[in-house]
Amino acid sequence: MRRMDVVVVGAGPAGLCFARALAGTGLQVGLVEAQPRQALAEAAFDGREIALTHASRQSLEQLGLWQRLPEAEIAELRDARVMNGGSPFALTFASSQIDGQPLGWLVPNHLIRRAAWQAVQGQDGLELFDGRKVQAVRADSQGHVVRLDDGSELHARLLVCADSRFSGTRRMLGIGAQMRDFGKSMLVCRMQVERDHHHTAWEWFGYGRTMALLPLNEGQASAVITLPPRQIEELLAMDEIAFGDAVSGFFEHRLGRMQPVATPQAYPLVGVYAQRFVGERSALIGDAAVGMHPVTAHGFNLGLASAQRLAQGIAEQQRRGADIAAAGMLGSYQRGHRLAARPLYEATNAVASLYTDDRRPARLLRAAGLRVAQGVAPFRQLIAAHLTQRVA
């Protein structure tokens, strides 16, 4: 049995960033991942563009990831518009509302994963157990015994779950989760657009579907379309020309002709909120703790914040010579992450429900809400500050 201080299950962005945040602590960290290391090093393009806040950019800089991102692939998010159905009215958030700085930045998900992998290479005290899955978890007085599918075992003083919103390790720990299946799928695809998007993001709540447009460099944009799974399948079955025509029509040709420059990808929409973020000598981070609906584009930012918060607590315990899995530290982590996550999770679900309800009362309510919000400048500034997470 290999004895480790911390065993992290899942080498996605949250798991890798958490492991990186423990660099220099002197802790022995084991990272368990089902994928082989080559797949981690050369993470495949998955169509998802991540909207990074100012706080997340600062975290990535501290972890040494931001510097590893290709500059040409970092797109500024300068303005944002929220639109409702066929109404010409839109709630707008301009970069000028925050001292002329961008609202945020858009970076391809697979490049963040590659940068995170590169950042942990050669890290002292870190060992990767790739191509292996967790088969069982058994608690003892000093932590957890983690049995892998090759028969090997790891002993962890602290076990951290970072293995997606459908975390099998979370379940092995006996921690349940509230799951909300929205009954929809999300299609994402990079498109070449005919007209200038001026680096403005759109969130468009159309009747029967929800759409977003994320501005990228070189006249490209990521189209995000939420529809029932069968309609998504019909879109995926189209050839490039027909698909481009369909997406252009969805966006009412506001950016002219739109044509795909990558293979479209689809993902089911399921929100997840764990009943607890910690257990006896164990903790959840990333999507294993909270899996967000993408309408507010805060999933990665929230997951990164959870990894940073837990790592800081562990590092402080280590500096003091205290127990890195102490109940008090874990409880403090849980309270902090709940305070950050619960309001955002519930508000996101409420927005998703209201803006996908096509009944007349809901249409009137959201139209009125957008107009009121647009007319109250301090309210818009407050929302902009929350969305960008500016750091002093």
Q: What's residue 361's pLDDT?
A: 54
The continuous run of DSSP H or E covering 106 comes out as strand 104-108
- Which among 303, 368, 354 is positioned nearest to 91, based on CA atoms? 368
Contact 175, 279 (CB under 8 A): yes
Digit-by-digit pLDDT tens for the chain (392 residues) are 999 999 999 999 999 999 999 999 999 999 999 999 999 999 999 999 999 999 999 999 999 999 999 999 999 999 888 776 555 555 666 665 456 689 899 999 999 999 999 999 999 999 999 999 999 999 999 999 999 999 999 999 999 999 999 999 999 999 999 998 888 899 999 999 999 999 999 887 765 678 889 999 999 999 999 899 999 999 999 999 999 999 999 999 999 999 999 999 999 988 899 999 999 999 999 999 999 877 656 789 999 999 999 999 999 999 999 999 999 999 999 999 999 888 877 776 665 554 455 555 545 555 545 444 444 444 344 444 444 455 44
Predicted pLDDT of residue 342: 86
Q: Output the pLDDT for position 218.
A: 96
Rounded CA-CA distance 185/231 in Å is 9
Contact (CB, 8 A) for 213 and 255: yes
Give the pLDDT score at 295: 61
Record the pTM: 0.89
The residues pairing with 134 across neighbouring beta strands, listed in sequence order, are 148
